[in-house]
Structures are given as C-alpha cells and as structure tokens.
Amino acid sequence: MGSKQLKEEVYEANMELFRSGLVFGTFGNVSGIDENREVVVIKPSGVNYDELTSEKMVGVALKDGKVVEGTLNPSSDTPTHIEIYRAFESASGVVHTHSEFATAFSQARRPIRCMGTTHADYFYGDIPISRPLTEDETINDYEINTGLVIVETFNAVDSAEIPAVLVANHGPFAWGSTAHKAVENAMTLEYLAKIEYKTEVLNPTVPTPPQYLIDKHYLRKHGKNAYYGQ
Ligand SMILES: [Zn+2]
C-alpha cells in the first residue's frame, strides 16, 4: 500500500470513529501502519474533525517516532500506538477512545468479562485491565509507558485473539488487521462493555458461561477451522 493510500485509509477510519459517537471531546484517534511496518500514519494533534483531510495525516517512523511525512504534529498519543505496533504483529491499525462504558470499566479497574456469544464472536476471552502506572511512569515518558503497560498486560494473553485492552483509570485501546478493523473492534468493545454492565445490574451473581460455548463462537469465526460466514 502506498503512503497516499494509507493516509486516505487512516483519514476515513478517523472519520468513521468520529461518526460512531465513541469520541468524547478530542479523545479519539486512529492510526495505521504500512505493510513494511516502517511508517505509522496517525491523526494530527489539535485539528478539529471538520477540518481534517487525508493530506493532514502525519507519518512517523516506527523505529524512533520522528515525523517523516506531513507538516503537522502527530497526536500526542502516538508513542502509545508505536509501542503497540512494535509488540503486536497482528496490529496494523490502532484506535484509542474515551468511550463511555469501556472507560467506566477502565476507571472501575475491572476487565470486561466474556459473558456470552456476542463477546466470543469477536474476542476469545475477557478484555484485560492493565495495572495502574507508577508515579515515575506517569511523570516521565507517560505515553510510552502507557504503551509498555499495555504490552505487559499481554504477557499471558494473545493480542491477536483479544485485540483490545482497558488501561486502568484511563480508557480503551483496540487494534486490528487494518485501521478500519481496529475501529470496528473499538465499536464492538464499547457495545460489549455496555451489555456486560447491564448483565451485572440484572444479575450480579450470574455464573460465567461454559468454555465450550465461548470456544464454539470464537473458533467458528477465527482460525483454521473457521466456517461461519465463509
Ligand atoms: Zn486517552
């Protein structure tokens, strides 16, 4: 994919995220990476959505975060996106929002449990919650450390099977095989947070569903034995 094409795709994905209603204030950004995994294209900092164009997208080098394309500054969350791309091979698009229900779970410092088939159709298990950042991690290189704490959260979790995370006291990040897929995962994540919240209100002691049901729904759509929708 040429860089012009990637800028177009990332621009479209940012507008799609904006239209989805998941962006509160200016808290929303989408990025994408080129197929050689060298340049990350992301929304510029401080530009309103109605003034956004594909030409205003900013390209930064994966290796050092320096701007290599565009004249504007990249989103201030760019270092977090970069750490996600460096660690998660399956991520070619990354989304960050402060969407209402997913952010509520982040603040409650709770995972979004996998309680049913809607969740299992997209994510193979609970959406994990990160540990809180330390004072030092917050004061120095905050955005990089936010990325590193996300990566740490996936030490024992497969980032391809569960392409989203809740950062404690902050909000959700989601990723996917393209910028568009990452937006779709962010939208799904918000919906799952909402229905998990309602599930708990309706029955706070309901048991988790059996693993065979989760396996059935995830594995019929993902992996080598997928058959659903083929
Ligand atoms: Zn944020």
Question: pTM to 2 decimals?
Answer: 0.95
The label of the residue with tokens 């996998």 reads 114
Walk across the sheet containing 28-33 and list its strands.
67-69, 58-61, 39-42, 28-33, 93-97, 171-176, 164-167
**3-state DSSP call for residue 93?**
strand
What was the pLDDT predicted at 52?
95
Question: Distance between CA atoms of 138 and 132, rounded to whole angstroms?
Answer: 10
Residues 6+ apart with CB under 8 A from 57: 7, 10, 11, 41, 42, 43, 44, 69, 70
Q: How close is the Cα of 139 to the center of ligand 1, in Å? A: 16
Tabulate helix, strand, coil % of the chain (nearest 5). 40, 15, 40
Q: How close is the Cα of 208 to the center of ligand 1, in Å? A: 30
What is the 8-class DSSP label of residue 27?
A: B
Q: Which residues are catalytic?
A: 121, 228
Backbone angles phi, psi at 195, to 5 degrees: -75, -30
Q: How close is the Cα of 146 to the center of ligand 1, in Å? A: 10
Residues 6+ apart with CB under 8 A from 1: 9, 34, 35
Q: How close is the Cα of 194 to the center of ligand 1, in Å? A: 19
Nearest alpha-carbon partner for 166 in 88, 108, 83, 225: 108
pLDDT tens per residue, range 47-78: 999 999 999 999 999 999 999 999 999 999 99
Model confidence band, residue 25 (pLDDT cutoffs 50, 70, 90): confident
Q: How close is the Cα of 171 to the center of ligand 1, in Å? A: 6
